[in-house]
Amino acid sequence: QQPVQSPQAVILREGEDAVINCSSSKALYSVHWYRQKHGEAPVFLMILLKGGEQKGHEKISASFNEKKQQSSLYLTASQLSYSGTYFCGTALSDSGGSNYKLTFGKGTLLTVNP
């Protein structure tokens, strides 16, 4: 039940856009997105609940397609500071609406070059 992230890695030039996907084979209650830089703790970006909402955080936004059980993270006009590994963590619908038990994907390594 580990969510599948794609792509595994992406290389951008500063200012370019990227999309990272997170798919689940099971019905999701919520999707949590984190960014982790090498040797550091994962940093929270945003949470999306079922209902297909879209949220934004500066130039980073995300959507949740309940029909497809898929979330996408959109990074626009990328900056050097966006480099890192992006993880999605999912909470299942059968967890009773609880967000406590997250299952993380393997991550997407994003590299932004000057």
Partner 1 sequence: DTGVSQDPRHKITKRGQNVTFRCDPISEHNRLYWYRQTLGQGPEFLTYFQNEAQLEKSRLLSDRFSAERPKGSFSTLEIQRTEQGDSAMYLCASSLSSGLGKQFFGPGTRLTVL
Count interface residues toward partner 1 (CB under 8 A): 24
Strands 9-13 and 108-113, by their bridges, are parallel
How many other C-beta atoms lie within 10 A of the C-beta of residue 54?
12
Q: Which of residues 11-30 bind partner 1 (CB under 8 A)?
A: 30
State how far the Cα of 54 lies from the Cα of 100, in Å rounded to an integer: 21
Instruction: Report which DSSP code applies to 100.
Output: S
Q: Which of residues 30-89 bind partner 1 (CB under 8 A)?
A: 30, 32, 34, 40-44, 47, 49, 87, 89
Where on the chain is the footprint of partner 1 (CB under 8 A)? 2, 30, 32, 34, 40-44, 47, 49, 87, 89, 91, 98-107
